[in-house]
Structure 1
Amino acid sequence: MAPETTTRSGREAWLALGLIASGLCLLQYYVQYTKVSTEGVAMERTESIAALPVPLSRPDRAELPRRVDVVVVGGGLTGLFTALRLRETGRRVVVLEACRAGWAQSSRSLGLIREQGREAIEAAAMRRANRSWQTLAGALGPDLGWIRGGHVSVARDDAAMQRVRDWGEVAREHDVRFEVLTREALRERMPWLSVDVVGAGYTPDDGHVDPSRATASLLMLCRRAGVEVFEGAEVQGIDVAAGRVTGVSLPGAEIRASDIVVAAGAWSSRLLRTCGVHLPIHVGRGTVGLTVPAPPITRASVWDVGGVGFRQSADGRIVFGLGGYVDVDVHWEDVAEAWKLLPTLVKSRGQMSVRIGRELVRDVGGLLARRELPSLPFETPRVNGRQVTEGSRRLAELVPELEGVDCNLSWGGVIDATPDFLPIVGGASIDGLALIVGTSGHGLGLAPALGDGVARLIDTGSSPAYLDAFASSRFDR
């Protein structure tokens, strides 16, 4: 048997290398569509938010419950909102977070709660989410860091202005207060904007939050409500019997449950593979910059269509990022299913940077050594310094008063994205398994609505209509 085993292993190794070669050829093919960076960490700043916590040690096995009604995997905002709503139905709910709550992305996002500019199919969910955020702000007050200042989408040319006007149809359909501002109206109402701006869209009911404070506040609400939250608890597998989930496996422990919600962000895809669920989710990094305090400019969040977005916090600092710009660190899934990633890159040409490096090497090593993909490591997301520099330049260009205001801090976040940049939410092919994955950078804003919808699915057996567009079945075709 030894020679046969050796031959089989050799064939598998050559197959893996062949797939890698094919994938790399595809990557070279779409260089023309996207900016590709194969340079290493030396080109990126490694600063992070000092207040953000680091990964924890594992909880003691004796601390973990043996059986609950629902396990929520992932302690970001979507997981916490889901857990809170499920707890309100009287169920025993445990949240298992492999690191710290909100560590990977929820506490690192830009913090915009905006209806304006959303895709038509997510508008109903965002309408519900916005109302939930406002209700939560009323209950928590300043602890949430909520500012209801509206949202402004500015346009620098006629094409961008037409996109702003076109969104008015979505606003009318979903009863969103929306106003188109001409250049003259902007000069009167927002004189701090660059004279190059030709017009804008304005939604007065939008707002923004401090993501770190929002995550901490929701975690507090969950624990007060009786949700059991364990940080440092990495779920390694989902257990299934006779087509239904039975629980989850952790290092040295198991927890039995009737229902499982996977809301683990970038870590969701590989976890779901342990129970045979394969979804087209790709992992990327976003970068956010933070300036020193500046004079008060606006309470609104601002988005330059196709450019920089920002909000001003209560202490005057400007939080900014380049809209839609994502760094993709190539993993095995991106190579093996490059044909699924290619349309995403074509659609987002000029806004994605593809980097081939240690992530792919680590994945291939795991496949060759153990015939399985390793878990994604918990590392502080790297910062793209060029995005910070370019974002600072565009910010000063858009708001001349901010020229010379230094950016003294920047951080990265981990984004799980689908090919159409919309989340996958709802039931799965396995009974008792529910998903909130692939939120594509929309997770913070949509979190209350997605959590409400999945909680209703588990409680009643049917999900609200606004989740229909997010079903995983759309990728079966």
Structure 2
Amino acid sequence: MQCDVCIIGGGLVGCSTALHLVRAGKSVVLVERDRIGAHASGANFGGVRRHGRNVLELPLSTRAFDIWRNMGTLVGNDCEFMPTGHLKIARSEAEMAVLEQWSSFGAEHGIPVVLHDRTSLRANFPWLNTSSFGASFCPGDGHANPRLAAPAFALRAGAEGAVVIQGDGATTVEDARDEFEVTLHSRRRIRAAVLVNAAGAWGRHFARYYGDEAPVEAVAPQMFVSEPVPYIIDAVLGMVTGGLYLRQIPRGNVIFGGGRGILDPNCHRSSPSDRVFAETVGLAGDLVPSLRDIAVIRSWTGVEGHCEDGLPILGPSPRRANLYHAFGFSGHGFQMAPAVGAVLSELIARGFSETDISALSPRRFTGAKSSILAESEI
């Protein structure tokens, strides 16, 4: 099979890239070992936020925000995006100082943030406990349904001409003159002028074919969903420490996450941890008292790639022409993926993009690390 671009990985990043490339006039084959959106893209929390992002991600995150607001037009499905706003909680004066610092970063990128002390926090968000020190609130951010997003992009890409292959992943990548030859589990072969490595937690494997080192490990964030209860939580909730993230959907279910589950030995599958279950459910009840006696009806995990500096690996390979990496999103990919596809399409089809992703390049691992405040500190 011959194409202009072969994409390895059928998560939201790969599916977004496929759609944007087809619309740029490229022939595309996307290959996915399992089902579209089967891993991190479909099992994540569903947060759609710019708030608290690492400053180096803000150009990409800001562009993605505009795409999310028009998702229905782009793919024919709004993916249940709700711009409820995002509230990040500080539990101490030191944590509040972190939020104050980020608010200035946000202002520089046109992202409005409202700071709340304990009194205004209680007045505006009465469903919270009374012990939080303060918070920052970012209007316009929100949440969406991760089970809908990657399939929506894949369906649209397929309808517009992309070949989408599920259940038949890439096993090897080789050079074939000036092209790439990708061999699948079924022994089918795909030849392409350009290769996009959007293999998520397994992207490091394909990067190594061309000597691109990527310090990415597989992790398994753990999620929970409750029984339906009265709808009172009208913003997505996060913490400066990152220990809990929580949202409620209109039909009443509360979806939240925190901690990491258990990976199987080959890192292809994962399962929930009983210890994390107890800790995270307890923390949710402490932060939102009405949840203390709530029934949790399901817990799950998904495998994602986490880079050592918390930033995605995004951009052209420093060692192989026409190879592009897009993996290691460290829990940030769901919000940014629609823009990732747009930027990669521009780089491949036009040779440039007006969205600056230079700080996310694979090249950064050969030089000094940035001293910019990391998201894990926000």
Counterpart CA distance in 1 for 2:93 and 2:180 is: 56
Q: How does 1:26-425 map to 2 (within 5 A)?
A: 66-137=1-72, 144-241=79-176, 244-251=178-185, 252-306=187-241, 307-322=243-258, 325-326=259-260, 359=265, 376=266, 378-379=268-269, 381-425=270-314
- In structure 2, the CA distance between the partners of 1:311 and 1:156, relative to structure 1 (3 Å rule), is same
> Given that residues 84 and 142 in structure 2 are in contact (C-alpha distance below 8 angstroms), is that contact kept between their aligned partners in structure 1?
yes
| 1:274 counterpart SS class | helix
| Matched letter for residue 388 of structure 1 | F
Counterpart CA distance in 1 for 2:22 and 2:73 is: 21
2:343 to 427, 433, 453: 453
Counterpart CA distance in 2 for 1:137 and 1:180 is: 31
- In structure 2, the CA distance between the partners of 1:141 and 1:261, relative to structure 1 (3 Å rule), is closer
> Given that residues 212 and 362 in structure 2 are in contact (C-alpha distance below 8 angstroms), is that contact kept between their aligned partners in structure 1?
no
Aligned to 2:373: none
- Residues 2-30 of structure 1: CA deviation (Å, up to 9, x unaligned): xxxxxxxxxxxxxxxxxxxxxxxxxxxxx
> Given that residues 237 and 249 in structure 1 are in contact (C-alpha distance below 8 angstroms), is that contact kept between their aligned partners in structure 2?
yes
> Given that residues 116 and 203 in structure 1 are in contact (C-alpha distance below 8 angstroms), is that contact kept between their aligned partners in structure 2?
yes
**TM-score, normalising length: structure 1:** 0.73
Displacement of 1:415? 1.5
| Matched letter for residue 104 of structure 2 | E
Coordinate RMSD, CA, aligned: 1.8
Displacement of 1:199? 1.1
**TM-score, normalising length: structure 2:** 0.92
Aligned to 1:27: none
| 1:236 counterpart SS class | strand
Greater strand proportion: 2
Counterpart CA distance in 1 for 2:166 and 2:54 is: 34
Counterpart CA distance in 2 for 1:463 and 1:233 is: 32
- In structure 2, the CA distance between the partners of 1:382 and 1:328, relative to structure 1 (3 Å rule), is closer
- In structure 2, the CA distance between the partners of 1:140 and 1:266, relative to structure 1 (3 Å rule), is closer
Counterpart CA distance in 1 for 2:291 and 2:77 is: 26
- Residues 150-198 of structure 1: CA deviation (Å, up to 9, x unaligned): 0000112111111111111111110101110121111211111100012
| Matched letter for residue 248 of structure 2 | Q
Counterpart CA distance in 2 for 1:464 and 1:250 is: 34
> Given that residues 75 and 153 in structure 2 are in contact (C-alpha distance below 8 angstroms), is that contact kept between their aligned partners in structure 1?
no
Displacement of 1:304? 2.3
Counterpart CA distance in 2 for 1:377 and 1:395 is: 28
Counterpart CA distance in 2 for 1:172 and 1:221 is: 35
Displacement of 1:141? 7.5
Counterpart CA distance in 1 for 2:26 and 2:235 is: 39
Counterpart CA distance in 2 for 1:223 and 1:155 is: 44
Counterpart CA distance in 2 for 1:240 and 1:309 is: 43
2:324 to 434, 438, 447: 434
| Matched letter for residue 318 of structure 1 | V
- In structure 2, the CA distance between the partners of 1:134 and 1:309, relative to structure 1 (3 Å rule), is same
| Matched letter for residue 426 of structure 1 | G
- In structure 2, the CA distance between the partners of 1:141 and 1:314, relative to structure 1 (3 Å rule), is farther
**Structure 1: 5+ residue stretches without partners:** 1-65, 330-357, 360-375
> Given that residues 106 and 112 in structure 2 are in contact (C-alpha distance below 8 angstroms), is that contact kept between their aligned partners in structure 1?
yes
> Given that residues 321 and 388 in structure 1 are in contact (C-alpha distance below 8 angstroms), is that contact kept between their aligned partners in structure 2?
no
Counterpart CA distance in 2 for 1:441 and 1:188 is: 31
> Given that residues 220 and 260 in structure 2 are in contact (C-alpha distance below 8 angstroms), is that contact kept between their aligned partners in structure 1?
yes
Counterpart CA distance in 1 for 2:296 and 2:261 is: 20
Counterpart CA distance in 2 for 1:188 and 1:423 is: 37
Greater helix proportion: 1
Q: What is the percentage of aligned positions where both structures have the same residue? A: 31
- Residues 180-239 of structure 1: CA deviation (Å, up to 9, x unaligned): 012111121111110001211011110100100222222222222221111011101112
| Matched letter for residue 97 of structure 1 | E
Displacement of 1:377? 6.5
- Residues 88-118 of structure 1: CA deviation (Å, up to 9, x unaligned): 0111111100100110110000000111110
Counterpart CA distance in 1 for 2:298 and 2:323 is: 40
> Given that residues 60 and 355 in structure 2 are in contact (C-alpha distance below 8 angstroms), is that contact kept between their aligned partners in structure 1?
no
Q: How many residues align?
A: 364
Displacement of 1:284? 1.2
Displacement of 1:139? 5.6
Counterpart CA distance in 1 for 2:4 and 2:113 is: 43
